[in-house]
Amino acid sequence: MKSFPYAFAGVAELLRSQHNARIHLLATILVIAAGLWLGISAQQWALLFIACAMVWCVEALNTAIEFLADALTTEPHPLIKKAKDVAAAAVLIAAVFSLAIGVMVFLPYF
Which positions are catalytic? 59
Q: How many CB atoms lie within 10 A of CB 27?
A: 16
Round to whole Å and give the CA distance between 73 and 37: 48
Kindly tell me the burial class for residue 81, based on how many C-beta atoms sit within 10 Å of its own C-beta (0-12, 13-18, 19 or more): exposed
